[in-house]
Structure 1
Amino acid sequence: MLRVGLTGGIGAGKSTVAGALADLGAVIVDADRIAREVVEPGSEGLAELAAAFGPTVIAADGSLDRAALAARAFADDESRLTLNSILHPRIGARTQEYVQAAPADGILVQDIPLIVEGGMGAAFDLVVVVHVDEAERLRRLTEYRGMEESDVRARMAAQATVEQRRAAADVWLDNGGAPGAIVEDVRTLWIERLIPFERNISEQSGVIAASDIVEANPEWAGQARRAIARLGLATGGRSLAIEHVGPTSVPGQPARDCLDILVTIADAATAQELSAILGGAGFPVDSGATTPDLADLQARAVGNSYRLHRGCDPLRPVAVHLISPA
């Protein structure tokens, strides 16, 4: 399964992108919808909110009065923590139910507004950010949704900055063009990246970069940071060191377009375990490789065990070099 995180600022058009992906065959898990589900009339979540914040948070029709809840729950830090303790476990459990129900060979897209703010990017194989500049989002939200300008500005100020979203984005979708234009961008993303990415994961087939030397890409460093974060999460904080090495780690240096990530492991038993884990995380072992690709890794590998894994993303080749005691 390919897991994609979809995010963007308020008014950027995440729903349009999610709808286009659903039409193409993706399984969509919408965090906002789940947050509403767990407090539906008659639910345990709604009953617990009423017990914690009083019956006034329940509207006359039995539904949650969100304005009344906000007035009580955000009055102080203790109330906010109480709210989170009621909602977050239920949202997490329901989300997991949807994830587990998705087909093993599917493309799962989790629409989560706060992926960047919550530092959740490493949990996904790919993070897609939908972007529209602030002035245009303000116009759309006030004109089309009838929101108050002060409310829109306050919500924007509480969300991640453009720079923070760019740092988290594997895919940047600009939705500032003509209405509907982004749907074609989504279709291209689906055909050229998501489908082959999922196929590579299912077949445990890593991507080998082209041998051509290309001009230095200023995005290599950020791409490497995201790859390292994913590897770190997958390996669960075991005793190892993960670093970006090789030509693409040198700013301004032309190189083959492949991110080389070195994982140094303290013991052979852990290396064996991690090799299996990385395959499940989208970095399968390259069984045909017996020596490091990079000359500067040869010396480190002497007298040690070496394994080469490759990433499954068709548009972002990654080579993961595992070195451990023999």
Structure 2
Amino acid sequence: MLKIGLTGGIASGKSMVAARLKELGAVLVDADAIARDVVAPGTPGLAAVVRAFGADILDAEGRLDRPRLGAVVFGDPERRAELNGIVHPLVRRQAAAVIAAAPADAVVVQDIPLLVETGQQSSFHLVVVVDAAAEVRLQRMVKHRNMTEEEARSRMAAQAARDVRLAAADVVLDNSGTPEDLRGEVDRLWQDRLVPYAMNISNATVAARNGGPVLAPHDPDWRRQAGLLMDRLRAAAPDEVLAVEHIGSTAVPGLDAKDVIDLQMAVTDLEAADRMAPLLGAAGFPAWPGILLDSPIAGRPDPAAWSKRLHGNADPGRPVNLHVRVAGSPGWRFALGFRDWLTADPAARDAYAAEKRRVAALHASDSSTSGYAQEKEAWFMETAGPGMERWAASSGWQPPSYASAGSGRLDT
């Protein structure tokens, strides 16, 4: 099952996107609709709201008077938090029941206006944000919802700031144009990414990658994207994961790299790695088959010490290599040290960049990147391994020491 979190600022066009995804075949879980259901007349939810806010928030028929309640809470963060504390748990329980009834291979879209505000980002395979500039949304509220400008700005201020929402997004749908433009974006997202992503999760398959190595200039957004992925991975197996860290070339500022994010997950032993493999698969990171070995670096020949498990992303829109290694193992240590060495030493970073460009040119016409990876092995053995060790000795670098699985802390 592919779980999509859909959000956007008020008047961004989120409801239009939700409706189109439902037409295309998604199972839609509408938090707003559920929020109305859980405070319908006669429900425990409505009784709780009345106890907190008084009978004045009911209309003549005993139903919740939403404009009146909105006038109370939207200008008062404490009262808004009190209302959310009543309604949000009820909404989540009912949403969970709808999701549990969905087919195993479904694309489930949860339309959640306050997804970011309530910290639910890591609960989804992807977060889709529908975006439009603040002034565009303001005009829509005044024109189509009969709000005053003051009322509209108050509603906008009650939600997360636009930059905060965008920082949580895996996908941004721009709704500054026409409805037809937005529907076209949704259709392309569905066909090119969501459908194959759901199929890959169902089949426990890593998304296909074709073509030889293509290096791109360093993208500062790689760090943000890695952060989103790491949060999901920690949430996938909190009792087994010691840490997840961004490694590889995309983690080194200023270094050209293939647009593939490398992450390292630290575990206590490979038995833990194997236990968590189904959980990682369900989270969208299926395993590549077989027990893989890192190449021994700097004359360390013990193959067993370099064993790891390798997972990839089922998402065709974001290639990922997830290296699951035992904390304290040589491969784990080298991945962290190599990243930190290149970050600290511009000359080492530039030397590696030159080697990457040389090897990428040799393998530009390949159908995969395996030849590119193999060609770099000699440089790692002869240059990277010794160079990193000399830097570690001279700088006093030491790898982190993790407290315990699920703690989120590092011992220092």
* TM-score of the superposed pair, with normalisation by structure 1: 0.90
Q: 2:38 maps to what in 1? A: 38
User: What aligned pairs does 1:181-260 form with structure 2 within 5 A after superposition?
Assistant: 181-210=181-210, 211-216=212-217, 217-236=219-238, 238-260=240-262
Q: For the residues of structure 2 that align with 1:28 and 1:164, how far apart are their CA atoms?
A: 24
Deviations 1:195-219 (A, max 9, x none): 0000000000012544422213332
User: What aligned pairs does 1:1-326 form with structure 2 within 5 A after superposition?
Assistant: 1-70=1-70, 82-210=82-210, 211-216=212-217, 217-236=219-238, 238-288=240-290, 290-292=292-294, 303-324=305-326
Give the drift of 1:66.
2.7
Q: Residue 304 of structure 1 contacts residue 324 of structure 1 at CA under 8 Å; is this kept in 2?
A: no
Q: For the residues of structure 2 that align with 1:287 and 1:41, how far apart are their CA atoms?
A: 54
- Secondary structure of the equivalent of 1:206? coil
Give the drift of 1:221.
1.3
Change over 3 Å in CA distance of 1:77–1:245 after alignment to 2: closer
For structure 2, the 5+ residue unaligned runs are 330-412
Q: Residue 243 of structure 1 contacts residue 263 of structure 1 at CA under 8 Å; is this kept in 2?
A: yes
Q: For the residues of structure 2 that align with 1:222 and 1:132, how far apart are their CA atoms?
A: 21
Q: For the residues of structure 2 that align with 1:182 and 1:319, how far apart are their CA atoms?
A: 32
| Bigger mean CA offset, 280-289 vs 62-71 | 62-71
Give the drift of 1:180.
2.2
Amino acid at match of 2:227: R
| Bigger mean CA offset, 137-146 vs 57-66 | 57-66
Q: For the residues of structure 2 that align with 1:26 and 1:131, how far apart are their CA atoms?
A: 21
Query: How many residues matched?
Result: 325
Change over 3 Å in CA distance of 1:42–1:243 after alignment to 2: same
- Secondary structure of the equivalent of 2:250? helix
- Secondary structure of the equivalent of 1:303? helix
Q: For the residues of structure 1 that align with 2:296 and 2:166, how far apart are their CA atoms?
A: 30
4+ residue runs of structure 1 moved beyond 6 angstroms? 71-78, 293-296, 298-301
Q: Residue 8 of structure 2 contacts residue 130 of structure 2 at CA under 8 Å; is this kept in 1?
A: yes
Q: For the residues of structure 2 that align with 1:26 and 1:127, how far apart are their CA atoms?
A: 15
Q: For the residues of structure 2 that align with 1:214 and 1:310, how far apart are their CA atoms?
A: 19
Amino acid at match of 1:274: M
| Bigger mean CA offset, 50-59 vs 238-247 | 50-59
| Bigger mean CA offset, 272-281 vs 32-41 | 272-281
- Secondary structure of the equivalent of 1:279? helix
Amino acid at match of 2:146: G
Root mean square deviation, CA, Å: 2.6
Change over 3 Å in CA distance of 1:143–1:83 after alignment to 2: closer
Q: Residue 285 of structure 1 contacts residue 309 of structure 1 at CA under 8 Å; is this kept in 2?
A: yes
- Secondary structure of the equivalent of 2:292? coil
| Bigger mean CA offset, 236-245 vs 89-98 | 236-245
* TM-score of the superposed pair, with normalisation by structure 2: 0.72
Give the drift of 1:272.
2.6
Q: For the residues of structure 1 that align with 2:146 and 2:303, how far apart are their CA atoms?
A: 62
Deviations 1:193-250 (A, max 9, x none): 0000000000000125444222133321111111101101112254512111111111
Q: Residue 107 of structure 1 contacts residue 198 of structure 1 at CA under 8 Å; is this kept in 2?
A: yes
Change over 3 Å in CA distance of 1:294–1:19 after alignment to 2: farther
| Bigger mean CA offset, 100-109 vs 73-82 | 73-82
| Bigger mean CA offset, 81-90 vs 58-67 | 81-90
Q: For the residues of structure 1 that align with 2:72 and 2:52, how far apart are their CA atoms?
A: 10
Q: For the residues of structure 2 that align with 1:72 and 1:46, how far apart are their CA atoms?
A: 16
Q: For the residues of structure 2 that align with 1:71 and 1:139, how far apart are their CA atoms?
A: 20
Change over 3 Å in CA distance of 1:145–1:225 after alignment to 2: same
Change over 3 Å in CA distance of 1:76–1:127 after alignment to 2: closer
For structure 1, the 5+ residue unaligned runs are none
Q: For the residues of structure 1 that align with 2:75 and 2:161, how far apart are their CA atoms?
A: 26
Amino acid at match of 1:213: V
Give the drift of 1:273.
2.0
- Structure with bigger RCO (C-alpha 8 Å, 6+ apart): 1
